[in-house]
Amino acid sequence: MVGMKKDEIPAQDEAKFQPDGTYVPRILFFTPDGEFMKDIYNHHQKADDKYKYFYNSTSQIIDSMILALAHIPKNDTLDDKRR
């Protein structure tokens, strides 16, 4: 997990870290290579479509974590890259 302030985001990376606005808090998921996983967001039925990357509860975050892990090939983890 990385905490960033708006003024810490390089101009060339704004789109990557602000896919649907500058609201906070929001949680974004990335591949081990640093690619933004735009399809991993709060899919809960009560989630706000305007703020896709905002989570109301821990269980919603866990659901997205599980989804993110399912989208990463088993041999594409950070531990594998460190070996």
User: What's the pLDDT band for 62 if we cut at 50, 70, 90?
Assistant: very high
Number of domains in the chain: 1
Report if residue 28 sits inside a domain. no
The model's pLDDT over 20-52, given as tens digits with 9 standing for 90+, comes to 888 888 999 999 888 999 999 999 999 999 999
Please report the pLDDT score of residue 44 as a whole number: 95
d(CA 19, CA 66): 21
Please report the pLDDT score of residue 76 as a whole number: 60
Report if residue 53 sits inside a domain. yes
**If you average pLDDT over every residue of the chain, what do you get?**
85
- pTM passes above 0.85: no
Report if residue 45 sits inside a domain. yes
Report if residue 76 sits inside a domain. yes
Report if residue 9 sits inside a domain. no
Report if residue 55 sits inside a domain. yes
Beta-carbon contacts of 62 under 8 Å, excluding residues fewer than 6 positions away, are none
Report if residue 2 sits inside a domain. no
In the predicted model, is pLDDT for residue 3 greater than 80?
no
Domain span at residue 48 reads 40-83
Report if residue 18 sits inside a domain. no
Beta-carbon contacts of 64 under 8 Å, excluding residues fewer than 6 positions away, are 27, 29, 40, 41, 42, 43, 55
